[in-house]
Structures are given as structure tokens and as C-alpha cells.
Amino acid sequence: MRIVLDTNVLIAALIADGVCARLLEHCTERHEIVLSDFILAETRRHLAEKFRFDQVEVDEAIRLLESSGTLVAPAELGKTVSRDRDDDLILGTAVAGRADCIVTGDEDLLVLREFRGIPSAAPVRRFRGYKGLEPPWAAFGLNSSFQNDRDSTLPGRAYRSEAGRLWYNGHRETPWL
């Protein structure tokens, strides 16, 4: 599958060990992540401004993402589609990259549900009842192996940056054990 991970999903994957980090790892290992300069620039800006990553850490995160995905130029959509104009660049990335789905936490994209045959869903979709959380992989037809990736026999991915920092499975110095 070709998957667009929106900036908010990438940020969550890079700053914390949770569903988004597992989703990024899963997509890196088993699917093709579709990126654009817009997504990378927005990720860069938020890591530096909101989460106070220093320049070396930001550069490392962007290099990690670039090495894990395919870069495309967003397609022109012709007209504004989303309530937030920037989100049209995410949709354009999905169209240009012939993505099978968009994973986002952005309500302006989620309300669309689908654009030109490309579904969008949140990494975690809440639903009523005692079940609590529906697994994100179910929304995209991913098999249950995603759920068990963390416990699989596949080795975790560790990277040593030029600055000597360790990055485990997409985020810095937080190994999955």
C-alpha cells in the first residue's frame, strides 16, 4: 500500500512511543510512505517551534523520514476542497503519489472521509461501547499483524545520526523493549 501520513501523525510518531510511532514503523517496514516537500517542511517547522527540537534533531528527523518514504510534488486540485487550504496540499500529495489511504488526525481532512477514491481515517478511531478503541489498521484493511509488530521477532530499527544520537523506530532515544 502507498500511504500518506499527515504531519500530525508524523509529529506524534517522532515525539512519543504510541500508536502513531507503531504505525510509522509498520508503514516503513511493509508499505510505501508518500511524502511531499510541504509535509516535510511543516514537520520541520512544528518540531522546531512547538517541540523545541534543536536544528540537528530536526535535520535528523527529516532525513529519517526522507529515507523511509517517496517524495512527490502535490497535484493541483483545481479548486479548494478542504476547509483548511493547507490540507489541500495533503490531498494533492495523496493524488500525486497514487496513495491508497491518508492517515490523519486533522478534522478538516477526516470530515471528507474520501477524496478521489482515497479514504482518510484517524490513527485511532473511537467508537461507542465498552470496546474503547478500534485499531487504526482495520480502517485500511491492514491485517492484524500490525497489532503485533511491537512483539514480533523482527528487530527494531535503530539509526545512529551524524550527531551521534540514537533514533529507535522513528523517535529519538526511546527504544521499544
| pLDDT tens digit sequence for 84-141 | 888 999 999 999 999 999 999 899 898 888 999 999 888 875 323 323 334 444 545 5
Biggest CA pair distance of the chain: 48
Is the Cβ–Cβ distance between 68 and 40 less than 8 Å? Answer: no
Q: How far is C-alpha 57 from the chain's CA centre? A: 18
Contacts of 68 (CB under 8 A, 6+ apart): 24, 28, 33, 170
Is this prediction's pTM over 0.85? Answer: no
Q: What is the pLDDT of residue 167?
A: 52
Does the residue 21 lie in any domain? yes
Higher pLDDT, 5 or 134: 5
The CATH number that applies at residue 119 is 3.40.50.1010
> Edge to edge, what strands does the sheet with 118-121 contain?
69-71, 32-35, 2-5, 101-103, 118-121, 114-115
Does the residue 97 lie in any domain? yes
Does the residue 137 lie in any domain? yes
**How many other CB atoms are there within 10 angstroms of residue 133's CB atom?**
10
Range of the domain at 129: 2-172
Torsion of CA 72, 15, 163, 44, to 10 degrees: 40
Q: What angle do CA 4, 172, 53 make, to 5 degrees?
A: 85
Q: With 0-12 CB in 10 A as exposed, 13-18 as middle and 19+ as buried, what is 169?
A: buried
For 155-167, the pLDDT digits (tens) are 444 444 555 444 5
Residues linked to residue 32 through DSSP beta bridges, in sequence order = 2
For the chain, how many structural domains are there in total? Answer: 1
Is the Cβ–Cβ distance between 61 and 10 less than 8 Å? Answer: no
Does the residue 177 lie in any domain? no
